[in-house]
């Protein structure tokens, strides 16, 4: 029987660079993580592809998924629903593979309750003004939505203590290396504990 994979949750305020850092991390050859594609009722941005960036759904479809218990967690964030399909996460972890979630804070706290053994990382901006600057520079949201996201960001930043690690995204490559080091250390720790139990069982 293979050991279950590790569930890694990356969250942090909108525009901090979660997607950018995740893509940089996944492009590295020595990293073997499996990205869980979320479901959302948000309209696709230019260039976003259904089934790659998100599974885009109507509110009715999303609410049906909630009713049918198809989501590990879900949240309403700045006017849209976002959620994590449970089947992919369960199946992939069961196969002994690591799963990577990139989600906002309300959802991460829900996951923490179901998977307390998960690895929870908060990606923090160098400053609030830099955060706003990044959302503006991305050019995907109206001024009103940027202000709403910045309001949510203040509340999210207050929750960073609930995470196992806080990683600053000052430079993408540095943030990426920090997350890689945390994941590798977590694997070593789990292997050591597992080996200790194996040895104990051999002796008894
Ligand atoms: N370290 C960084 N330095 C400067 N700009 C960055 C950095 N990381 C990301 N960015 C830029 O900030 C913007 C937001 O990044 P990104 O879309 O990855 O954020 P996000 O946290 O995934 O946002 P959301 O939660 O809204 O999906 C992008 O334009 C990206 O290029
Ligand atoms: N709780 C969840 N939050 C999610 C999920 N997928 C993405 N997100 C987060 O929502 C905000 C907004 O995303 P955007 O693509 O509209 O900019 C951001 O913080 C995402 O990380 C999810 O499945 N559950």
- pLDDT tens, 142-165? 999 999 999 999 999 999 999 999
Parent domain of 76:
37-96
- pLDDT tens, 3-14? 899 999 999 999
| 84, 21: one domain | no
Calculate how far, in angstroms, residue 89's C-alpha sits from the geometric centre of ligand 2. Answer: 16
The answer to whether the CB of 122 is under 6 A from ligand 2 is no
Last residue of a domain, one of 96, 116, 145: 96
The answer to whether residues 104 and 156 touch, using CB atoms and an 8 Å cutoff, is yes
| 17, 43: one domain | no
| 116, 141: one domain | yes
- CA–chain centroid gap for 63, Å, is 21
Mutate to test the pocket of ligand 1, among 13, 14, 44, 134 (most ligand atoms within 8 A of CB): 134
Q: Classify strands 71-77 and 80-85 as parallel, antiparallel or unpaired.
A: antiparallel
If one counts the domains in the chain, the total is 2
| DSSP bridge partners of 55 | 39
Residue from 113, 39, 48, 122 nearest 76 by CA: 39
Calculate how far, in angstroms, residue 203's C-alpha sits from the geometric centre of ligand 2. Answer: 48
Reported pTM: 0.95
| 147, 105: one domain | yes
| 18, 91: one domain | no
Pocket of ligand 1 (CB under 6 A): 14-20, 134, 137-138, 169, 171-172
Residue from 7, 6, 16 nearest 104 by CA: 16
This model of the complex carries an ipTM of 0.98
Residue from 15, 38, 22, 9 nearest 148 by CA: 15
CATH code, 189: 3.40.50.300
């Amino acid at each position: 029987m293979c050991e279950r994979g590790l569930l890694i949750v990356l969250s942090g305020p909108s525009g901090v660079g979660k997607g950018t850092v995740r893509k940089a991390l996944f492009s590295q050859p020595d990293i073997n993580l499996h990205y869980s594609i979320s479901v959302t009722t948000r309209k696709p941005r230019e260039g976003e592809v259904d089934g790659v960036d998100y599974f885009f759904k109507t509110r009715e479809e999303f609410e049906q998924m909630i009713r049918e218990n198809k989501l590990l967690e879900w949240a309403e964030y700045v006017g849209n629903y976002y959620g994590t399909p449970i089947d992919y996460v369960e199946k992939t972890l069961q196969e002994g593979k690591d799963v990577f979630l990139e989600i906002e804070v309300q959802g991460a706290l829900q996951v923490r309750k179901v998977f307390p053994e998960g690895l929870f990382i908060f990606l923090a901006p160098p400053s609030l003004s830099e955060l706003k600057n990044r959302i503006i520079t991305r050019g995907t949201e109206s001024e009103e939505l940027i202000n709403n996201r910045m309001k949510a960001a203040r509340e999210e930043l207050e929750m960073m203590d609930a995470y196992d690690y806080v990683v600053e995204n000052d430079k993408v490559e540095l943030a990426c290396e920090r997350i890689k080091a945390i994941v590798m250390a977590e694997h070593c720790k789990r292997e050591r504990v597992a080996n200790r139990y194996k040895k104990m069982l051999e002796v008894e």
